[in-house]
Amino acid sequence: MLRLTVPISDEEIRSLKVGDTVFLNGVIMTGRDAAHKFMIEHFIKGKPQPDEVVLYDELKEILDGGVIYHCGPVVKKHDDGSYSFVAAGPTTSIREEVYQADVINHFNLKGVIGKGGMGANTLKACQEQPAVYLHAIGGAATLIAQAVKEVIDVKKLEFGVPEAMWVIRVEDFPVVVTMDSHGESIHEQVEARSKEKFAELIA
């Protein structure tokens, strides 16, 4: 079992291979469809507006050498105004394929957490950056939430709780490397084997 602490160096990312099990520690951020679309339109393909400059600078600091988690959490708000995660299961990542490579490259992301894997554009970005895709366990939302030790901040809460960008501190968050910086993808391998098996079955 490997342990990584955010921010993660290029050398640490290059040392990872598909199949490696990792305990992730440090500050990461959640982001789903609305967050990725917003970052592309306002910060990557567009110029931040005056009222967005502070947010842009904050995201650059959080995501530089950092990790984004495809997650729509269930969140509890406490009487003192603080938050905690009740459930934190991964979202299907392929929905972000159209955005992910640009977000990885622009913000110097080192890791993307989700479920189900991603496509060729993201795999290419993982090689170039470098970065890795980390598979979280689907159906274990309550268990994963136990690794979220603190909700530090929330950005764009107006997107709604699942789509907001939650800045969280995690301890020993369990993930598996399924796309690495060397061009290997377990998801591609599974798809190729499935096609071969299907061809055999219908032959």
pLDDT for the residue 198: 44
What pLDDT is recorded for position 203?
A: 65
Domain ranges, residue 10: 2-202
CATH number of the domain to which 143 belongs: 3.20.130.10
CA–CA dist 124, 158 (Å, integer): 33
Residue 11 has pLDDT above 70, yes or no: yes
In the chain, DSSP assigns E strands to: 2-5, 21-30, 67-69, 74-77, 83-87, 111-114, 132-135, 148-155, 165-179
Residue 181 has pLDDT above 50, yes or no: yes
Span 56-84, pLDDT tens digits? 999 999 999 999 999 999 999 999 999 99
Token look-up 């520690």 returns 25
C-alpha distances (whole Å) from 24 to each of 39, 41, 55, 110, 166 are: 24, 30, 25, 12, 17
Condensed to tens digits (0 to 9), the pLDDT of residues 133-177 reads 999 987 778 888 999 999 999 999 999 999 999 999 999 999 999
pTM over 0.85: yes
Residue 5 forms beta bridges with which residues?
Answer: 25
Catalytic residue among 36, 70, 135, 187: 36
Report pLDDT for 74.
Answer: 94
Question: Phi/psi of residue 187, each to 5°?
Answer: -65, -40
Residue 36 falls in the annotated catalytic set: yes
For residue 150, list its beta bridge partners.
Answer: 169
134 touches 111 (CB < 8 A)? yes
Total number of domains in the chain: 1
